[in-house]
Amino acid sequence: MKPKTIIEPFKIKSVEPIRFTTREEREIILKDSGYNPFLIHADDVLIDLLTDSGTSAMSAKQWAGIMEGDESYAGSKSFYRFEAVVKSITQMKYIIPTHQGRAAEKILFSIVGGPGKYFPNNTHFDTTRANIEFSGSEAVDLLNETGKHPEIRADFKGNMDVEKLEAFIKEKGAENIPLCMITVTNNSGGGQPVSMQNIRETKEVCKKYGIPLFLDACRFAENAYFIKKREKGYANKSPLEIAQEMFSYADGATMSAKKDALVNIGGFLALNDEDLAMKCRNLLIVTEGFPTYGGLAGRDLEAVAQGLVEVVDEHYLEYRIRSVEYLGEKLVSIGVPIIEPPGGHAIYIDAKRFLPNIPPEHYPGQSIVCELYLEGGVRAVEIGSVMFGKYDKNGKLIPAIMELVRLAIPRRVYTQSHVDYLIEIIAEVYNNRNNLKGYTITYEAPMLRHFTAQFKPLY
Ligand SMILES: *Cc1c(COP(=O)(O)O)cnc(C)c1O
């Protein structure tokens, strides 16, 4: 008999205490931080679900690699190990380290971007969009229709709308589209996976018009595991083989190692085009560093290389995807509305359905985020009208399309009892939902206001 319980595929060698606070203390802390969890000191948080980026726990082998790191300025042994591992997964010819994902994006779009150009994607992540727009180009999201409906359960809600892509290329002209991207998994669309068939079909369209296809590969291993579990023909393939096939349809990739490389800092650009790789390396030297360290220490390159070996382990991925799914299942069973099915790295609570009586201009997502902190010291993040709201010319709020609260799950950090505690806290907030109040903004910066905004509860 195969046991039903999927256990953490590791034992714990080093622990980091978390600090307990009382509800009274949290009331003061929350008020002092202007009811904005971004401004709470991490030490005052019990369970921190702000992001899965750069928050992974490293393994003993990664820490050993940190000691082994070769800090030579040029030609470091750690670079060659890093390069070999990245090549084994991506099969790409030119591997360029960067200090994180957005640095790879900045270099790439500084070279291929510029005014009058267009970059389609299933959904651009915000730094990708920002780097494209900063170069003067336009970033375009062409997500398939099912991906836009939180309540529909489907296997691959991250898929590109291939028909729309082809129509878009015909409309704008292939010569104005330097490359097309697919983000795996689709972070901004709820961490939903993209199928192999969709990557293949996107590649066919790109090939027909001579447009290179790039993967935004931050969560390539989680995506590979979803393909293994959900797509016909992949059940008996290893996550590594599936990842290799995913990359085989791409001409390049950008990567934030802070996600699926299980490290706290790092990234890379992987390319097949020699001329483009040369241009990227030249710019890298100006902005990041010599091509064999790219803004990282040798020890960081060792940790990334080892993390990439560990992340494609099937037991790790089974545990990872299952632990997020477990949280989602429990929340659904008690009636909490979430984006379904759960994605790879986070659960998204649908604040509109959770708090139907709080209108967008009183920020229902912010209300839930504050209550989770007060109730249990849990830190989540609003992804709704606080983050994406805009104003019309009369100063009236134009709300975001969705009002969400993201619970991002750091990799290998929390155990099942942390998750069970979290479920109890969310259930308590949900049971008390009729007493929750909205918020107004008392201070906001002109750009990216969610990071520093101050709020006031509407009592
Ligand atoms: C995190 C992320 C990035 C940017 O990476 P950083 O390391 O944070 O700069 C780009 N794309 C996606 C899909 C991401 O999740």
DSSP assignment of 304-316: HHHHHHHHT-HHH
Question: Residue 418's pLDDT is what?
Answer: 97
Is 80 exceeded by the pLDDT of residue 264? yes
What is the percentage of the chain residues whose pLDDT exceeds 90? 93
- Kindly report, residue by residue over 172-194, the tens digit of the pLDDT: 999 999 999 999 999 888 899 99
Together in a domain, 296 and 401? no
Claim to verify: residue 350 and residue 447 sit in the same structural domain = yes
| CA 338 / ligand 1 centre spacing (Å) | 23
Tens digits of residue pLDDT in 7-38: 999 999 999 999 999 999 999 999 999 999 99
- Chain centroid to Cα 384, Å, comes to 16
Instruction: Identify the residue whose C-alpha is closest to ligand 1 atom 1.
Output: 256
Average of per-residue pLDDT values in the chain? 96
Shortest CA distance to 216 belongs to which of 237, 247, 240? 247
Q: Once rounded to an integer, what is the mean pLDDT over residues 219-238?
A: 98
Q: Determine the angle formed by the axes of helices 416-431 and 364-376, rounding to 10 degrees.
A: 120
Alpha carbon distances (Å) from 159 to 122, 156, 200: 7, 6, 11
Q: Pick the closest to residue 196 from 226, 168, 219, 216 (CA basis).
A: 226
Are 262 and 337 members of one domain? no
Q: What is the pLDDT of residue 196?
A: 98
> What is the per-residue pLDDT across 40-59, written as a single tens digit (0 to 9) for each?
999 999 999 999 999 999 99
Region 69-75: mean pLDDT is 96
Tokens 């097949």 sit at which residue? 272
Give how far the C-alpha of residue 317 lies from the chain's centroid of Cα atoms, to the nearest Å: 16
Contact between 108 and 288 under an 8 Å Cβ cutoff? The reply is: no
Domain assignment present for 362:
yes
Same domain, 121 and 183: yes
- Domain membership flag for residue 295: yes
Position 189 in a domain: yes
Rounded to 5°, the CA angle 389-118-278 comes to 120
What burial class does residue 273 get, using C-beta atoms within 10 Å of its C-beta: 0-12 exposed, 13-18 middle, 19+ buried?
Answer: middle
Report, as an integer, the average pLDDT of 207-225: 98
In a domain, 279, yes or no: yes
Q: Are residues 43 and 75 in the same domain?
A: no
Q: Identify the domain boundary among 289, 311, 333.
A: 311
Average pLDDT, stretch 270-276? Answer: 98
Contact 301, 307 (CB under 8 A): no
Strand bridging mode 252-256 / 267-271? antiparallel
Please tell me the number of Cα atoms within 13 Å of 15 on its side-chain side: 7
Closest to 167 in 3D by CA, of 140, 191, 192: 140
d(CA 101, CA 52): 14
- Determine the distance separating the centroid of ligand 1 and the alpha carbon of 340, expressed in angstroms: 23
364 lies in a domain? Answer: yes
Distance CA 363, CA 440 (A): 7
Mark whether 169 and 220 lie in a shared domain.
yes
pLDDT at 302: 98
Q: Do both 36 and 110 map to the same domain?
A: no
- Residue 256 CA: which ligand 1 atom is closest? 7
**Inter-residue contact 107 to 284 (CB < 8 Å):** yes
- 330-348 average pLDDT score: 96
- Residue 393, domain extent: 23-52+313-457
pLDDT digits (tens, 9 = 90+) for 372-391: 999 999 999 999 999 888 89
Query: 142 and 161 in contact (C-beta within 8 Å)?
Result: yes
Which atom of ligand 1 is found nearest the CA of 102? 9
Instruction: Pick the last residue of a domain from 311, 327, 345.
Output: 311
E strand or H helix at 382, and its extent?
strand 381-383
The residue among 294, 311, 328 that closes a domain is 311
pLDDT in tens, 84-103: 999 999 999 999 999 999 99
Q: Residue 1: inside a domain, yes or no?
A: no
| 197-235 CB burial, b ≥16 within 10 A, e <16 | ebbebbbebbeeeebbbbbbbbbbbbbbbbbbeebeebe
Average pLDDT value for residue range 410-438: 97
For a ligand 1 pocket test, name from 108, 125, 182, 383 the mutation site with the most ligand atoms within 8 angstroms of its C-beta.
Answer: 125
**For residue 130, is it within any domain?**
yes
Q: What does residue 273 show for φ and ψ, rounded to 5 degrees?
A: -85, 120
pLDDT in the model for residue 157: 96
Q: Which residue has the higher pLDDT, 304 or 445?
A: 304
How many domains are contained in the chain? 2
Clarify whether residues 88 and 223 are in a common domain: yes
Rg of the chain in Å (alpha carbons)? 22
Most informative mutation of 52, 218, 265 for ligand 1 (most atoms within 8 A of CB): 218
Question: Alpha-carbon distance 279 to 273, whole Å?
Answer: 10
- For residue 190, what pLDDT is reported? 87
Cα(245) to ligand 1 centroid in Å equals 22
Question: In the prediction, which pLDDT does 189 show?
Answer: 84
Q: Is the pLDDT of residue 447 over 90?
A: no
> b/e for 395-417, b at 16 or more Cβ within 10 A?
eebebbebbbbbbbbbbbebeee
State in Å: Cα 214 to ligand 1 middle: 14
Q: Identify the pLDDT of residue 246.
A: 98
| Residue 225 belongs to domain with CATH number | 3.40.640.10
Residue 102 CA neighbour count, 13 Å, CB half: 9
Residue 271's DSSP bridge partners are 94, 252
pLDDT of residue 304: 98
List, chain by chain if needed, residues with CB within 6 Å of any ligand 1 atom. Answer: 53, 100-102, 125, 127-128, 183, 187, 216, 218, 256, 258-259, 267
CATH number, domain of 400, equals 3.90.1150.10
In a domain, 31, yes or no: yes
Q: What is the phi-psi region of residue 34: left when phi exceeds 0, alpha when psi lies from -120 to 50, beta otherwise?
A: left
pLDDT for res 388: 86
Encode pLDDT of 135-168 as tens digits: 999 999 999 999 988 889 999 999 999 999 999 9
36 & 74 share domain: no
| Alpha carbon distance 181, 16 (integer Å) | 38
Same domain, 206 and 143: yes
φ/ψ bin of 157: left (φ > 0), alpha (ψ from -120 to 50), beta (otherwise): alpha
Mean pLDDT, residues 108-125: 97
Do both 120 and 43 map to the same domain? no
Residues 181 and 234 grouped into a single domain: yes
Please report the pLDDT score of residue 363 as a whole number. Answer: 96
